[in-house]
Structure formats: structure tokens, C-alpha cells
Amino acid sequence: MDFELQAGGKTVKPRSLHQVSDRGEQAQPTHLQLERRRV
């Protein structure tokens, strides 16, 4: 649930982040999620 808040203050789902990452508009949120996944 932490990554959801880091997505940009909005309750976005992992799928949404994936789509946004594909566009390359929000690379930061995706990076944070990737780091969290590794941990």
C-alpha cells in the first residue's frame, strides 16, 4: 500500500503504474515500485 501513495498521492493500482511507465511520463513512481518489489 506504500507504493500506492508514492505513485503520486493517488491510489493508483500497479497496473496503472505499469501503463504510465510504458508511456515514460512518470518514471519515478515506477522506479520506486521496482525497488520495493526487489525488497
Matching residue, cell 498521492: 9
Model confidence pLDDT, tens digit, residues 1-39: 455 555 555 555 555 555 555 555 555 556 666 666 666
Cβ atoms within 10 A of the Cβ of 2, count? 9
CA dihedral 36, 33, 28, 15 (to 10 degrees): 180
Give pLDDT, residue 1: 45
Q: How far apart are CA 39 and CA 8, in angstroms?
A: 20
Helix H or strand E segment including 37 = helix 27-38
pTM listed for this prediction: 0.17
